[in-house]
Amino acid sequence: MFEVVIGLEVHIQLNTKTKIFCSCATSFGDKPNTNVCPVCLALPGALPVLNKEAIIKAISFGNAINATIHKRSIFNRKNYFYPDLPKGYQISQFEIPIVENGELYIDFEDGSSKRVGITRAHLEEDAGKNLHDNNFSQVDLNRAGTPLLEIVSEPDIRSSDEAVKYLKKLHSIVRYLDISDANMQEGSFRCDVNVSIRPKGDDKLYTRVEIKNLNSFKFIQKAIEYEVNRQIEAWEDGVYEDEVVQETRLFNIPTGETRSMRGKEDSAEYRYFPDPDLLPVIVSDKMLQDGKNIPELPDQKKDRLVKEYGIKEYDASVITSSVEMANFFEKMIQQGASAKNSVIWLSVELLGRLKGGVGVENSPVNAIKLASLVKRIEDSTISAKAAKEVLDHLMLNDISVDEAIDELGLKQMSDESELIKLVDQILDTNLEKVEEYKNGKDKLFGFFVGQVMKASQGRANPAKVNEILKKRLIG
């Protein structure tokens, strides 16, 4: 009945060494107001000088999303007052951004993907940070002047799930490109969400609400879901016009609700005009060339893994969501583990055991060790079930896979004569059931397998047990 329409604006902090218009450091977490100078403090007469590295990083991003790179772009002043903005304006790009008309693909569980248009990506400077105490506020200007790339999507996103998929893809692209650390807790990857609804089939855009400054995928998902429900309810109650107005809303973490913060400014209110202190940016051929020098990106890597190892599209997109994970996977294969098991043991078993945002690159079980574990399943030393216990043990103990198997006594019984002995014991103690089986009660086969497995404490190789039982019972 209703369709959800979402467009996202993402601000990423570029990981240049110095700020965008001065030579102050961009490092995070330093003592307040130590990385500042006349330019980023806006002392009278100080003039900005553009950081070339920021331009090249923006160009690489443009190339990664298949966009148009403008060889000539303009920096504007966006005028507004806020204590964290010492100049009283933010230097940003407006009519001519450096990057325009790009695209990004999001991947679904069934292996399909969908294109999301990227309207533009422009460079701007970050503001400082206001720190609020009970009775007073302070401002830290270390962040003021940090280069930001603002990436604006088309309103092509249709659900909270698609929004999160878009953001994760974008996150992985900027990390692959190494243009940002994209650390959400430290604010290097921040997202504003624009949400509206419309009757299905209608292609007009309805009033949008902007939810500001969301810094976790989970909150973004929740904020969208709350907002969509609020708008649908207003529509159904006949109060849509009154309750859904163009405004900026904030997400309240404890209640999971969004609430109005302020009416949405029109761009005219910012009195944008070209910054007279900065010349138009002219990108040289050398810079264009430098910006073309980009690594294999998630989508290309995904296609390659599908082709080279025959794994499923969606599995490949999970594996390629970070370079570290993709490298881990390829290392397991080099070690001789099969692709199919490497996918499962990396993306399900290992990831499921890594808690608190620990990446695979910091996992206590590295690629070589996880590959040896997989190989021990593949050569029938242990069962897949036992391997889960071994992995639990390896997460806590820095020992080899074989040592862990020994310590836990999980080595699979595959020795033919030993297994025959065990099978015969079970059959001998269940003569009545053997008789019933021979008289046609087929179901009992499973019972015998179960008894043998139990007697071996789960260590008997089930395939072999089946084989031997068949020989004994059917002949």
**Candidate residues 175, 208, 222, 376; the one interacting with ligand ADP per rule CB under 6 A:** 208
Site for Mg ion in 8-27 (CB under 5 A): 9
Residues that bind Zn ion (CB under 5 A): 22, 24, 37, 39-40
Token pair belonging to 422: 């065990």
In whole angstroms, give the CA distance from residue 63 to residue 56: 11
Choices 32-40, 65-73, 149-157, 321-329 (CB under 6 A): range interacting with ligand ADP: 149-157
Site for ligand ADP in 400-439 (CB under 6 A): none
In whole angstroms, give the CA distance from residue 86 to residue 84: 6
Residue 208's binding partner among ligand ADP, Mg ion, Zn ion, none (Cβ under 5 to 8 angstroms by kind) is ligand ADP
* Per-residue binding letters, 158-197, with Mg ion (x by CB under 5 A): ----------------------------------------
Strand 281-282 relative to strand 72-73, pairing: antiparallel
Which residues make beta-bridge pairs with 104?
116
Shortest CB 195 distance to ligand ADP, Å? 6
Shortest CB 206 distance to ligand ADP, Å? 6
Based on the shown chain and the rule CB under 6 A, indicate whether residue 2 belongs to the binding site for ligand ADP: no
Which residues make beta-bridge pairs with 79?
89
Token pair belonging to 420: 């025959």
Which residues make beta-bridge pairs with 76?
92, 274
Dihedrals phi, psi of 296, to nearest 5 degrees: -60, 125
In whole angstroms, give the CA distance from residue 318 to residue 314: 6
Which residues make beta-bridge pairs with 198?
3
Q: How many CB atoms lie within 10 A of CB 368?
A: 13
Shortest CB 246 distance to Mg ion, Å? 11
Nearer to ligand ADP, 108 or 206 (CB): 206
DSSP tag of 270: G
Based on the shown chain and the rule CB under 6 A, indicate whether residue 154 belongs to the binding site for ligand ADP: yes
Token pair belonging to 170: 């974008």
Based on the shown chain and the rule CB under 6 A, indicate whether residue 196 belongs to the binding site for ligand ADP: yes
Close Cβ partners of 411 (under 8 Å, ≥ 6 residues apart):
381, 382, 405, 459
Q: Nearest to ligand ADP by Cβ — which residue?
A: 7
In whole angstroms, give the CA distance from residue 391 to residue 373: 8
Nearer to ligand ADP, 39 or 167 (CB): 167
Residue 40's binding partner among ligand ADP, Zn ion, Mg ion, none (Cβ under 5 to 8 angstroms by kind) is Zn ion
Site for ligand ADP in 26-85 (CB under 6 A): none
Based on the shown chain and the rule CB under 6 A, indicate whether residue 445 belongs to the binding site for ligand ADP: no
Q: Where are the beta strands (DSSP E) in 225-276?
A: 247-252, 257-263, 273-274
Residue 24's binding partner among Mg ion, Zn ion, ligand ADP, none (Cβ under 5 to 8 angstroms by kind) is Zn ion
| Contact residues for Mg ion, defined by CB under 5 A | 9
| Contact residues for ligand ADP, defined by CB under 6 A | 5-9, 152-155, 194-196, 205-206, 208, 210, 267
